[in-house]
Amino acid sequence: MSISKNLKDIKSILPDHVTLVAVSKTKPISDLMEAYDAGQRIFGENKIQEMADKHEQMPKDIQWHMIGHVQTNKVKYMAEFVNLIHGVDSYKLLKEINKQAKKHDRVIDCLLQIKIAQEDRKFGISAYTASTLLQSNELSELKHINVIGVMGMATFTDKTTQVEKEFKLLKSTFNKLKNLNSKLKTISMGMSGDYQLAIDCGSTMIRVGSSIFGARNYN
């Protein structure tokens, strides 16, 4: 299986309203270039330093998405070029993104990460916290960030019913938040193992790594 073939297969079943983020974490530039040459322009990374290095080396018409957990003190290393930050889970982080974006005269799009999984290890905030945040005066003062939607990760399990329940929770949370803020448009959910289910549940953005680039080797 080649990267370009994998990409083509996934894109062939993708509805027009769903965006594919090619998750290239741990993969070498040569693999990313293969995806680029096949037409892919949106790449997702989960480490800021790795994303910044790849941004340096890759063509400049790529959109870079930060899909991992973001440490406040590292925002400055991506503020100049990042297109979408998926894992925003606090006002403090939004404030820092705003501050760093301002330095570059940019407005950075962000997604609020909602905790939908039962597992404790998954990051994210509750629907209630997200709605409070969205309605706060503090948020309206941040002119260099733009919250455009939500992101979530389902429990790592083979139980489809569990994953489906969690995806539906993210979709209904999105609907509630959209009533508060009609600008919201993006639901980032679905990975290699569950993107079809995620699309059926209302995803508008899937984050796919191993089904494009093959299994990751963390050694």
Ligand X SMILES: *Cc1c(COP(=O)(O)O)cnc(C)c1O
Q: Which residue is it, tokens 């760093």?
A: 100
Residue placing its CB nearer to ligand X in the complex, 68 or 149: 68
Give 142 or 189: the residue with its C-beta nearer to ligand X.
189
- Closest approach of ligand X to the CB of residue 16, in Å: 21
At its nearest, how many Å lie between ligand X and the CB of residue 182? 27
Closest residue to ligand X using C-beta atoms: 209
DSSP category for residue 146: E
Question: Shortest gap between Cβ of 215 and ligand X (angstroms)?
Answer: 8
Q: Which is nearer to ligand X, 122 or 144 (CB)?
A: 122
User: Which long-range contacts link 196-201 to residues 24+ away (Cβ below 8 Å)?
Assistant: 196/13, 197/160, 197/163, 197/164, 197/167, 198/167, 199/14, 199/15, 199/18, 201/164, 201/167, 201/168, 201/170, 201/171
Cβ–Cβ < 8 Å for 114, 130: yes
List contacts with ligand X (CB under 6 A). Answer: 23, 25, 46, 67-68, 153, 191-193, 207-211
Quote the least distance from Cβ 105 to ligand X, whole Å: 29
DSSP label at residue 73: G
